[in-house]
A and B are shown apart, each in its own frame.
Chain A
C-alpha cells in the first residue's frame, strides 16, 4: 500500500474526532472518502498531512512511518493536501503561488498550465481576486508543483458553480491518468463515487463501509446519494 492510516485516534483539545480510523490508498488509485459534516473527513486529511498529531495510530507512506513529522516534511515525501478553503497565498500572484509549490522541486509550470489554461491567462493576477473555481484550480495546480505521488483533496467542489465542478472533476481524472494517486474527500458523494476506484464511508470517526461499488450499496444510496 502507498498510504495506510492505521488505528488513528485524533481530535482537538478534549474533543475526540477520530476513533481508531484505518484506511489505505494504493499507488495510482483514486479513493473517495465520503461522510456527513463532522464525521472527521478533514481531520483524517489533517492527520495524514502532518498538520495534526494523532494521539494513537500510525501514518505510513511508502513503507516509511510519517506519524508526528511536521507538515513540510510530509509534503517533501510526496504526500500533499489541497485543504478545504484552499489556503492560497492571497496577496501573491498566480505565478508566485505556483512558484512556491515548486520551491523544493523546481518543477516547471508547463504541465499545470496545460491542465488549467485559465491560470496561464492570469499569471500576474493576485490570487485573492480570482473566482472560486479559478482559486480551486490554482490550489490544485500549486499542489501539483510539489510533484505529489498522492494528492489529497478536501471538498474541492464546495461552493463552485456546476460548470466549475465539472472542470475540477475532469482535472482530477487527468491527474490520476498521469499516475498520481488521489484521496478525495467530498460531500458531493454521487460524483466522487462515480469517479473513484474505491471508496470509504466515514461515520462519527470510524470507517463503517468500504468497497469498489458503494454507489450500488443500499445504505449509501439512501444516506448519501438521496436515492
Chain B
C-alpha cells in the first residue's frame, strides 16, 4: 500500500513537470489546460478498452487482437440504432453491451477455447483472423462509407479555462463508471472472486469445483463487453468505419503493457497516462503524429519498469 502511494506521488510529480514543460513550450495556459482536459477525457475511454484486454489476458492468457474489431461492432450497433431508430446514442449501451457480451461468449467457447494453452502464434492468427473477418463483414454489409453520429444535445462545457464537449465528458464518465463496475464485480462478488481464482490457479479452481471453461468464456465475454461499451461511448466522437477500432486496439495494448499485464488498476492509470501523453505530446512536438510521443514514452517506461507500472516482477 505504501509503495502504491509513493508510486502515485512520483507519478503526480512527473505529470506536474510534464504539464509545466508543455506550458512553457506552448506559452499558453489555456492551450495546456485544453490538452490536459482532452487527454484525460480520452484516456478514460482508453482505460475501458484496456480493461477488457487486460482482463482477458490476465485470466485466459490470451493476447486478443480482435478487441478493436469488437469495439467497432459496438460502434456500428450504436450508429445503426441511432440513425435508423433515432435512439439516443447512449441508450444503445443497453444493446451494444449485451450484444458484445454474447459475441464474446460464443467466440471464446467455440473458437478461442481451442487455442487455450496452445502456441502464441495460434492465438495471434485466430484473433487476428476474427478481426479481419469482422471488419470485412462490416465492409460487405455497410460498405466503406464513413458515418458520424452527432449528439443532438451536445454542448461545449467550460472546465478550468478549457472547453470540452458534453459528448467527451459523457464518454469519460461512462467509461470510468463501467471500469469501476467491473472492478467492483471482480473484487466484491463471488463470481469476480472465482474469476480471480481461475486467473491465479486454473487447476486449483477446477479442484474446488469451479467450471474453469465456463469462467473463461464469461471473462472473455465481459472483456468483449467492455470493448462494445467503449465503442458506443466513442461513437459520437469518431468517424465510424469498419477499421475504426484498430487504433484503439493498438493503444489498448500499449496501455495494458504500460499498466502491467493483467492489472486492472494499471489499465485505468495507463489509459489516463496515454491519453495525457498523446495530447501533451502534441504540444512538445507540434505537427507530429501524437502516437510518436505515446510510443516514445512507452519504450522509456518499459526500459525503467519492464513489468509495467502496476505489474509484479516476474
Chain A: residues with CB nearer than 8 A to chain B? 49, 51, 70-72, 75-76, 80-83, 86-92, 96-97, 99-101, 103-104, 142-143, 145-146
Contact = CB atoms under 8 A, between A and B. Distances in A.
Contacts of B193: 92, 96, 99-100
Contacts of B209: 72, 75-76, 103-104, 146
> From DSSP, what is the main secondary structure of chain B's interface residues?
helix
A100 B208 contact: yes
Contact of A143 (B197, B205, B208, B212): B208
Contacts, number: 74
A89 B204 contact: yes
Nearest to A139: B204
Candidate in B203, B206, B212 with the most chain A CB atoms within 10 angstroms? B206
Contacts of B211: 70, 72
B201 A101 contact: no
A82 B207 CA distance: 8
A101 B208 contact: yes
5 contacts: A51-B206, A83-B203, A91-B196, A104-B209, A142-B208
Interface residues of B, number: 18
Interface of B: 190, 193-194, 196-197, 200-201, 203-213
Contacts of A142: 208
Given A72-B212, A103-B190, A92 B207 contact: no
Contacts of B208: 75, 80, 100-101, 103, 142-143, 145-146
Nearest to B215: A72
Contacts of B201: 87-90
Given A89-B201, A91-B200, A92-B197, A143 B207 contact: yes
Contacts of A71: 203, 206-207
A89 B210 contact: no
B313 to A, nearest CB: 14
A72 B215 CA distance: 12
Given A51-B203, A89-B197, A89-B205, 13 more contacts: A70-B206, A71-B207, A72-B206, A72-B211, A75-B207, A88-B200, A89-B201, A92-B193, A92-B196, A96-B193, A101-B208, A142-B208, A146-B208
